[in-house]
Amino acid sequence: MAQQRVVVLTGAGISAESGLRTFRDGDGLWEEHRIEDVATPQAWIADPVLVWRFYQARRRQLLEVKPNAAHQALATFATKTDHFTLITQNVDDLHERAGNESTIHMHGRLKTLRCEQSGRSEVRMEEADFCDEFLYCQCCAVPQRLRHDIVWFGEMPMQMEAIHSAVEKSDLFIVVGSSGHVYPAAGLVNVANAAGATTILVNLEAPMNAENFDEVHLGKAGELLPNILEALS
């Protein structure tokens, strides 16, 4: 296993087991808001106060949750292979807190804020940074308004070149807690299959793309993943 190139993709399901709300509820609402009203560039232009306060509430929630057994299992597994890449669709920092410091966040991160003028990101996790009023950057001569360092609908996911390169070279591709609805993440299993990788899915329910995996394990990631990774080690 140490010489295999392993790529893991995680989605909202793994964070849900730590108590974070998943992507959207069954009624199509995201924490009681329409996606269009809080998670698009157009929403930021139309009502920046609503969008800002929505994400500030999500940032504050980070202080209330901890990594679970699935996060910990992935951190341990990473130490057992020389070629390990962890990609997440999640914007929380639970993988880092479990020990995976090199996590690729394709949809951005809640712990950083981005200057609207320069595009530079700043880690802003002090108590004063969780307020409902706008915050301003530390990089410009005249401080500019910050936005959340999140990929909204209609924006390009981050680090896609590095992500595709890793998956195209993978020998083992594991997806944990991803619905299979959101692209381009949902299409990465097809890239892995084309590369000849073994593909494994761990999810609470069978997602839309379940038939594309060699192995499918249904249940809570915190209960299933530690044993699956131990068997692969």
| Alpha-carbon distances of 222 from 25, 68, 74, 175, rounded to whole Å | 21, 6, 10, 14
Q: Residue 27 above 50 pLDDT? A: no
34: confidence class by pLDDT, cuts 50, 70, 90: confident
Residue 181 has a pLDDT of 79
The answer to whether the CB of 190 falls within 8 A of the CB of 217 is no
Query: In terms of DSSP H, where are the helices of the chain?
Result: 12-16, 35-38, 41-46, 48-61, 69-78, 94-98, 160-168, 188-194, 221-232
Q: What are the two backbone dihedrals, phi and then psi, of residue 186, each rounded to the nearest 5 degrees?
A: -65, -20
Mean pLDDT score, 180-202: 93
Residue 28 has a pLDDT of 47
pLDDT in tens, 61-99: 999 999 999 999 999 999 998 899 999 999 999 999 999
- Scored b (16 or more CB within 10 A) or e, 25-61 reads eeeeebeeeeeebbbbeebbeeeeeebbbbbbebbee
Catalytic residue of the set 71, 105, 107, 148:
107
pLDDT in tens, 106-165: 999 999 999 999 999 999 999 999 999 999 999 999 999 999 999 999 999 999 999 999
pLDDT, greater one: 173 or 2: 173
Q: pTM for the complete prediction?
A: 0.92
Strand partners, 22: none
Give all domains of the chain, ordered by start, each with its CATH number: 1-20+66-107+157-233 (3.40.50.1220), 21-64+108-150 (3.30.1600.10)
Q: Does 107 participate in catalysis according to the annotation?
A: yes
Residue 22 has a pLDDT of 58
pLDDT in tens, 195-225: 999 999 999 999 889 999 999 999 999 999 9
